Amino acid sequence: MTYFELKKYLVDKLFAICPNEAEREASIILEHSSGMDKGLIVAKYKEPVSEKVELDTEELLNIRLKRVPLAYVIGKTGFMGFTLQCRPGVLIPRPDTETVCEKAMEFIREGDHIADVCCGSGCIGLSLAKKKNVSADLFDISDEAVKLSMLNAKELGVTDKVRILKRNLFDSDFFDSCEKYDLVLSNPPYIKTEDINNLSPEVKREPKWALDGGRDGVLFYRRLLKVCPPMIKPGGHLVLEIGYDQKDAVTDLCSSKGYACEVYKDYGNIDRICVVNF
């Protein structure tokens, strides 16, 4: 079997579960199993594949066909131009969340102190710490998320710029031992509890605690708007990722608390970022 034939085989198999992503996912699986980038694979399209590459590819494909998310299958994903490690039990970073980072970078200044609440893999806080001269505190309730964030911090070379803390947002001592922040960011759970069962099989593989935003989907926003404002310096910002249908709910919540906010769209022209100004 040649590389071209193996790639076509992958696309044909993946089409059954992800028709719109089959080509992209086939390329990623083949890059991972062969240890080569896309350009080199194309250059070798007519060459035979080694038995090891063929077997490794088949193994990865079989896992993916069980509707395991691709990032869990290969153990990594791209985010903000970096490679982040991914593990089952921790939410997978999405491209839409990159818009949260990009909006935050409009506000960040040299030497700022920032926080990433509900950090998961650490994608937001670590990416900003890597790109900007800031210090960052990252918070999550999950042991798995804390461990993965620590691993990603080490691989990105930012361990000297960040603290990663296991904390429960709903505890009264959440911000104990913390100094005030110039910017607080969060991609909290925001899917309505009743909608969890309607998610794709892949998303259902991700931890429910990182998805479930309560009965109305805004449970965590209420809490964030209670505990974060006292920890944000005058002129600072709270930057939130929101669900596609949550603009009104979140802006109304901000207004009821007396906070001015603005909502921005993601790459798909969907309301995705709420910036609360202090």
Q: Which of 264, 266, 103 is nearest to 185 (CA)?
A: 103
User: Which residues are paired to 186 by β-bridges?
Assistant: 117, 240
Copy the structure tokens of residue 86.
């991914």
What is residue 228's predicted lDDT score, i.e. its pLDDT?
97
* pLDDT score of 24: 95
Residue pair 92/72 in contact by the 8 Å Cβ criterion? yes
pLDDT of residue 84: 98
pLDDT-flagged residues of the chain (< 70): none
- Neighbouring residues of 271: CB distance < 8 A, sequence distance ≥ 6: 242, 244, 246, 247, 263, 264, 265
Q: How far, rounded to the nearest angstrom, does the alpha carbon of residue 222 sit from its chain's CA centroid?
A: 21
What digits encode the pLDDT tens for the residues 84-114? 999 999 999 999 999 999 999 999 999 999 9
CA pair distance 40, 19, nearest whole angstrom? 25
* Rounded Cα distance, 215 and 204, in Å: 18
Report whether 221 contacts 191 (CB < 8 A): no
Rounded CA separation 3/229 (Å): 55
Residues 6+ apart with CB under 8 A from 193: 212, 213, 214, 215
pLDDT for 222: 97
Which residue is associated with the tokens 């992503």?
A: 21
User: What is the token pair recorded at 49?
Assistant: 């594949």
Give the per-residue pLDDT at 117. Answer: 98
Summarised one tens digit per residue, pLDDT across range 180-193 is 999 999 999 999 99
Looking at residue 197, what is its pLDDT?
93
Q: Which helix (H) or strand (E) holds 227?
A: helix 219-227
